[in-house]
Chains A and B, each alone.
Chain A
Amino acid sequence: MFFHIVLERNMQLHPRHFGRHLRDNLIAKLMKDVEGTCSGRHGFVVAITGIENIGKGMIRDGTGFVTFPVKYQCVVFRPFKGEILEAVVTMVNKMGFFAEAGPVQIFVSNHLIPDDMEFQSGDAPNYTTSDGSVKIQKDSEVRLKIIGTRVDATEIFCIGTIKDDFLGVINDPAST
């Protein structure tokens, strides 16, 4: 799920950036530092949308660095247990398949793939129904349900299932 929230961060700035462009430099550094990172609490920071407020800078003894408390608005993405996600399949093997929804890596084990879908090996491994009408392979788009999440410092892992109503392939690259 995406959220638009306000977060706060203490930014340290090198003295060489002091001057007319201090604010710009601060924001550029903030974007570089924050965008694309994860936190267990908020999930993945997709983009900074605005700066709420920059507090007073504190000069640190000895180094000359200045610490600014910055409040910024950003879009974060965090998967929840029970959430329905759409994801792109990245790898299919006999244990199940891996899919990605942006920064989130999802594994769907073959226990959680409907029983009528069988694994087919070969140069393009896939899961196919017996009549061949539905096929999950690399680059397929699937709708899945999250049943477990873990958010690390830089990565988000999820366990997913497609063994439920209205879940499964929503777009097959081979057919288009």
Chain B
Amino acid sequence: MSLATDSPVHSSSSDDFAAFLDGELDSISSASLDQEEVENDDGSDVQSMKRRKMEKMESIEEPQDSTSHRSLEENLEASTKKDVCTHPGFFGAMCILCGQRMDDESGVTFGYIHKELRLGNDEIARLRKTDMKNLLRHKKLYLVLDLDHTLLNSTELKDLTSEEEYLRSQTDSLQEGNLFKLDSMPMMTKLRPFVHTFLKEASTMFEMYIYTMGDRFYASEMAKLLDPKKEYFNCRVISRDESTQRHQKGLDLVLGQESSVLILDDTESAWPKYKDNLILMERYNYFASSCRQFGFNCKSLSELKTDENEPDGALATVLKVLKQIHNIFFDELREDLAVRDVRQVLKTIRMEVLKGCKIIFSHVFPIKFQAENHPFWRMAEQLGATCSTELDPSVTHVVSTDIGTEKSRWAVKEKKFLVRPGWIEAANYLWQKQPEENFSLDRIKNQ
């Protein structure tokens, strides 16, 4: 359309033209709406209108009475529905259903999908429900993955120690290997051993999300490293920037029912409301800087030029657990799919780990500390062990930090297992009761 050639042109006149067109189009659509409203108000009018429309249609189309009639009624129904739009969500401050401009700030912003997309709570609930059915049909659950210390470890280049300098020359290209120096920021990233196999196998059982406390840019860079072909995560990468609460992670941005979500993270405190969904991971500290961050004074894996073991490292262990959970959820539970709860399954499996152990603690909790609230006590109970404060013959393990305490000596005398608290932690991370002799107290002394 060229106005410049066939009309006297001023910028103002073209403005007017745009405004005119806009007005026209609006008035047309509102007029047609009005018409429909009138039809709905007045029953007799509807009849006559319908008849008229039908006649028109018949004259155009082949006479297909029943179908044309039905479609017409459906149209009418649809138009009445449209009049009371529920405004389920917003894109660019417009309702996604009727296109009306709305400036209220309700609902949750899904910034990781599109910065302008905001959905109301009802719509989220609806999406969760429909998506859940869809997913269960494909025998899948949801899995939310943390990045740092769970799937990978990053360090800033300036934090590399002199013993780590050799890494600079070892970085790989994007396609293979798992040590990267990023072009876009001064960082080096090491993927956890086994992570590629892990993602590949987990993707058959789960719809996966990334949820990191890093910022948006970092999150998408890491997603590129983990998933260069974009086959695992698609757009499901959530970063600190989109999070709805500061310093906390939540499932409100994850479009899945809580009863079917599992979380892998190394920081329990990040998920205060979703501890039942959480599988706690052993921290992956490859670089010296992250060892320092968590207060370890030992040499880092990078300095020792070693790494986690691939076939029985943390990711391989947790993959086995995930498989087991998936298997129980879909094949062993007898209830209706809709009422099955993955949190329950997780709990049951965890309870098997230290089943049959009766534990007594010595020199582990500070005096005056309520023993039942201590993390070790809770951890042991979650793993299926019974904890006690009284010495009696049914006790199987004494967990102690000192060989000289009364209870420790009792354990030696009665030939009970005497172990360090690390034994419980190890069982928690590895999902298996660990050989007690690896955690005996003598070893501490020798070291």
Q: Which residues of A contact B (CB under 8 A)?
A: 1-8, 41-42, 49, 52, 71, 73, 78, 80-83, 91, 93-96, 98, 105, 107, 109, 111-112, 118-119, 121, 123, 125, 146-150, 152, 157-159
Which chain A residue has the least Cβ–Cβ distance from B227?
A123
How close is A159's CB to chain B, nearest CB, in angstroms? 4
Known A-B contacts A4-B2, A112-B97; the reply to A150 vs B9 at CB < 8 A is: no
B207 touches A121 (CB 8 A): yes
Q: Which residues of B contact A (CB under 8 A)?
A: 1-5, 9-11, 14-15, 17-19, 21-22, 25-26, 28-29, 88-89, 91-101, 110, 113-114, 116-117, 119, 127, 130-131, 134-135, 138, 207, 229-232, 234-235, 255
How close is A111's CB to chain B, nearest CB, in angstroms? 5
Residues of B within 8 A of A125 (CB): 234
Known A-B contacts A107-B91, A121-B134, A157-B92; the reply to A3 vs B3 at CB < 8 A is: yes
**Of A83, A94, A111, which is within 8 A of B96 by CB?**
A111
The CA-CA distance from A17 to B9 in the complex, in Å, is 30
Residues of A within 8 A of B110 (CB): 95
The CA-CA distance from A83 to B135 in the complex, in Å, is 36
How close is B89's CB to chain A, nearest CB, in angstroms? 7
Residues of B within 8 A of A82 (CB): 25, 28-29
Known A-B contacts A111-B96, A112-B97, A150-B92; the reply to A91 vs B18 at CB < 8 A is: no
A80 touches B22 (CB 8 A): yes
Residues of B within 8 A of A1 (CB): 1, 21
A3 touches B117 (CB 8 A): no
**9 A–B contacts, CB within 8 A, in A order:** A2-B1, A4-B2, A41-B15, A73-B4, A81-B99, A83-B25, A95-B117, A105-B114, A148-B94
B93 touches A6 (CB 8 A): no
Residues of B within 8 A of A112 (CB): 96-97
B97 touches A109 (CB 8 A): yes
Most chain-B CB neighbours within 10 Å: which of A1, A4, A49, A95?
A95
B98 touches A123 (CB 8 A): no
B91 touches A91 (CB 8 A): no
A148 touches B95 (CB 8 A): yes
A123 touches B230 (CB 8 A): yes
Residues of B within 8 A of A157 (CB): 91-92, 94, 116
13 other A-B residue contacts (CB within 8 Å) besides A3-B1, A91-B235, A159-B96: A5-B3, A42-B14, A78-B18, A81-B99, A82-B28, A94-B127, A94-B255, A109-B89, A121-B131, A148-B95, A148-B98, A150-B101, A157-B92
**Of A2, A4, A91, A107, which is within 8 A of B4 by CB?**
A4
B99 touches A147 (CB 8 A): yes
Residues of A within 8 A of B100 (CB): 148
Which chain B residue has the least Cβ–Cβ distance from A146?
B99
The CA-CA distance from A110 to B175 in the complex, in Å, is 36
Residues of B within 8 A of A83 (CB): 25
The CA-CA distance from A78 to B131 in the complex, in Å, is 35
A107 touches B127 (CB 8 A): no
A107 touches B96 (CB 8 A): yes
A111 touches B97 (CB 8 A): yes
A123 touches B234 (CB 8 A): yes
Which chain A residue has the least Cβ–Cβ distance from B100?
A148
How close is B163's CB to chain A, nearest CB, in angstroms? 40
The CA-CA distance from A154 to B110 in the complex, in Å, is 21
Residues of A within 8 A of B230 (CB): 123
Residues of B within 8 A of A81 (CB): 25-26, 29, 99
Residues of B within 8 A of A80 (CB): 21-22, 25
A159 touches B94 (CB 8 A): yes
Which chain A residue has the least Cβ–Cβ distance from B255?
A94
Most chain-B CB neighbours within 10 Å: which of A6, A105, A152?
A6
The CA-CA distance from A3 to B11 in the complex, in Å, is 12
How close is A3's CB to chain B, nearest CB, in angstroms? 6
A93 touches B96 (CB 8 A): no
Most chain-A CB neighbours within 10 Å: which of B2, B91, B93, B100?
B91
How close is A85's CB to chain B, nearest CB, in angstroms? 13
The CA-CA distance from A83 to B231 in the complex, in Å, is 35
A8 touches B11 (CB 8 A): yes
How close is A110's CB to chain B, nearest CB, in angstroms? 8
A121 touches B119 (CB 8 A): no
The CA-CA distance from A122 to B134 in the complex, in Å, is 11
Residues of A within 8 A of B101 (CB): 148, 150
The CA-CA distance from A8 to B9 in the complex, in Å, is 12
B96 touches A96 (CB 8 A): yes
